[in-house]
């Protein structure tokens, strides 16, 4: 026993050698600065953007024409989702008929155990829906200690650094992509004149944002719009139009709200203001900001299609007084592909999407804001179909879009790169999309057996 406790000369030298090596490690040359910690191609740029595919090119102008002179601030109550406005457009009687049809269909479908419309689907949808407005506000929760509360100065840094930490924080909170746009004489026109709840949105020369029963005041110092995308579940939306598919949309609104609350508190903690959406789709025209910030391109859907996630995202908007580096629009060949593809317009059950070869300046109705060339949609037809037939939000146009395909199979990034670089192949690629049955409706019953990640979304689209 005693022998075991005695260290042999050889072992002693080994131990001393190892200890000496360990002690000398801190003296070895260290990597220079934290910026060099990763050279794996995964590092963020100075403004916090993750590397994008080479075929996503930055552009000086969006891939749609804009006439800023023709753009006026839009009243959010003019959309068809506003019940009073919808009644003005189609008549009170029609609204009542549509509501009773929807209610009748709902009960019949649940009792018949119709795939995608069973009680469990409705319960799942209602669970997400119950969360989307609770705790959402223009000014935020205002619970986090400010630097003043802590007795320290506000955070300060370069605009690049501000953009990076904000983008990193927001992605950590759950945003798929984040972009920034400066609010100037033109882009202020993209902030609604009135929110959906009827409160006026005004820019005022005041130090702090405030809200009354009549209005929401945005300080002139809050000059930066934050636009962010939240992924929906592509696998879920493939069963559209069903309640199963709709619930991923409502869930993304809920997640958008969580990100908004967290970001408002984060910026408050740094000593800055962050003004959010008082309800989903409030504050401003998010697709327009999404295009200007390079999150994606406007498309035939008259919605934004992103290079990473296709149209399977919801966009949200906030405003801050933290100066950040702004972003540029992109050209990934998406809008150009839409000219040829037309798949969404072909399958739209309400015939609400445009078949035109070229985008136009001519709006379809009061729900559109003029001043840019687009494929304007007939929202009345779309919304009527939701009520009368689908009994849910439709989303077929999202589901069938060739950009909705994930990038796990090599053929998809190859096709996207080809779309960007070789427009002559657009027609062929659309044909191939059909040939491989992409966009075909999936059986909603199977959704309950899919092994999907959290929230049904992949955080890395290129994995």
Q: With contacts defined by CB under 8 A, name the span among 34-42, 43-51, 105-113, 409-417 that binds another protein.
A: 409-417
Closer CB to another protein, residue 21 or residue 410? Answer: 410
- Interaction between residue 450 and another protein (CB under 8 A): yes
Nearer to another protein, 152 or 440 (CB): 440
Give the C-alpha separation, 119 to 439, whole Å.
26
Q: Are 180 and 326 in contact (CB under 8 A)?
A: yes
**Residue nearer to another protein on the CB measure, 235 or 377:** 235
Provide, rounded to whole angstroms, the least separation between the CB of residue 235 and another protein: 5
Sheet holding 200-204, edge to edge: 200-204, 215-219, 210-211
**How far from chain centre, in Å, is Cα 228?**
5
For strands 313-320 and 224-231, give the pairing.
antiparallel
Whether a cis peptide bond, with omega within 30° of 0, leads into 429 is no
Q: Which tokens belong to 398?
A: 């999202």
Is 438 an interacting residue with respect to another protein (CB under 8 A)?
A: yes
The 221-240 site mask, x for binding another protein (CB under 8 A), equals --------------x--x--
Span from 38-46, 125-133, 245-253, 434-442 in contact with another protein (CB under 8 A): 434-442
Total binding residues toward another protein, as defined by CB under 8 A? 15
- Find the part of the chain contacting another protein (CB under 8 A) among 83-91, 108-116, 324-332, 405-413: 405-413
Quick check: 54 binds another protein (CB under 8 A)? no
The reply to whether 460 sits near another protein by the rule CB under 8 A is no
Contacts of 159 (CB under 8 A, 6+ apart): 323, 324, 325
SS3 state of residue 13: helix
**Between residues 383 and 447, which has the closer beta carbon with respect to another protein?**
447
Quick check: 229 and 176 in contact, CB under 8 A?
yes
- Binding to another protein, residues 255-284 (CB under 8 A): none
Options 411, 421, 422, 428; binder of another protein; rule CB under 8 A:
411
Residue 390 near residue 399, CB atoms below 8 Å: no
Cβ atoms within 10 A of the Cβ of 181, count? 27
Residue range at the interface with another protein (CB under 8 A); choices 70-78, 332-340, 391-399, 432-440: 432-440
- Residue number, 55 or 438, with CB nearest to another protein: 438
8 Å CB contact between 196 and 82? yes
Residue 440 in the binding site for another protein (CB under 8 A): yes
How many alpha carbons fall within 13 Å on the CB side of residue 55? 18
Q: Which positions touch another protein (CB under 8 A)?
A: 235, 238, 405-406, 408-411, 435-438, 440, 442, 450
């Amino acid at each position: 026993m005693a022998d075991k406790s005695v260290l042999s000369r050889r072992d002693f030298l080994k131990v001393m050698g190892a200890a000496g090596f360990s002690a000398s490690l801190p003296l070895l040359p260290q990597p220079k600065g934290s910026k060099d910690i990763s050279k794996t191609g995964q590092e963020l740029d100075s403004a916090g953007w993750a590397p994008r595919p080479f075929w996503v090119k930055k552009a000086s102008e969006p891939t749609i024409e804009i006439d800023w002179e023709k753009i006026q601030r839009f009243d959010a109550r003019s959309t068809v989702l506003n019940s009073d406005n919808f009644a003005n457009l189609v008549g009170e009687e029609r609204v009542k008929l549509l509501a009773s049809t929807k209610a009748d269909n709902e009960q019949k479908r649940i009792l018949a155990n119709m795939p995608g419309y069973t009680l469990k689907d409705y319960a799942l949808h209602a669970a997400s829906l119950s969360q989307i407005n609770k705790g959402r506000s223009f000014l935020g929760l205002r619970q986090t200690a400010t630097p003043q509360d802590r007795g320290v100065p506000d955070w300060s840094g370069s605009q690049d650094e501000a953009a990076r930490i904000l983008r990193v924080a927001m992605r950590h909170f759950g945003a798929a992509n984040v972009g920034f746009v400066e609010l100037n004489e033109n882009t202020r026109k993209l902030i609604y004149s009135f929110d959906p709840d009827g409160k006026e949105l005004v820019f005022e020369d005041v130090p702090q944002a405030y809200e009354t029963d009549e209005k929401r005041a945005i300080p002139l110092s809050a000059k930066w719009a934050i636009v962010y995308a939240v992924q929906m579940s592509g696998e879920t939306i493939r069963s559209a139009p069903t309640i199963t598919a709709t619930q991923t949309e409502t869930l993304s609104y809920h997640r958008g709200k969580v990100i908004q609350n967290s970001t408002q508190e984060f910026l408050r903690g740094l000593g800055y203001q962050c003004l959010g959406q008082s309800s989903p789709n409030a504050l401003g025209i998010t697709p327009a900001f999404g295009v200007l910030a390079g999150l994606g391109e406007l498309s035939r859907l008259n919605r934004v299609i992103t290079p990473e996630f296709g149209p399977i995202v919801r966009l949200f908007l906030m405003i801050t007084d933290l100066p950040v580096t702004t972003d540029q629009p992109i050209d990934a060949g998406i809008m150009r592909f839409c000219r040829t593809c037309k798949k969404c317009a072909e399958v739209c059950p309400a015939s609400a999407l445009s078949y035109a070869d070229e985008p136009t300046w001519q709006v379809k109705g009061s729900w559109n804001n003029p001043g840019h060339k687009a494929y304007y949609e007939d929202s009345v037809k779309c919304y009527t179909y939701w009520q009368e037939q689908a009994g849910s939000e439709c989303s077929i146009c999202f589901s069938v879009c060739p950009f909705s395909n994930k990038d796990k199979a090599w053929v998809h990034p190859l096709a996207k790169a080809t779309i960007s670089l070789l427009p002559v192949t657009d027609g062929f690629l659309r044909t191939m999309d059909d040939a491989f049955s992409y966009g075909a409706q999936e059986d909603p019953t199977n959704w309950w057996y899919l092994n999907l990640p959290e929230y049904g979304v992949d955080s890395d689209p290129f994995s």
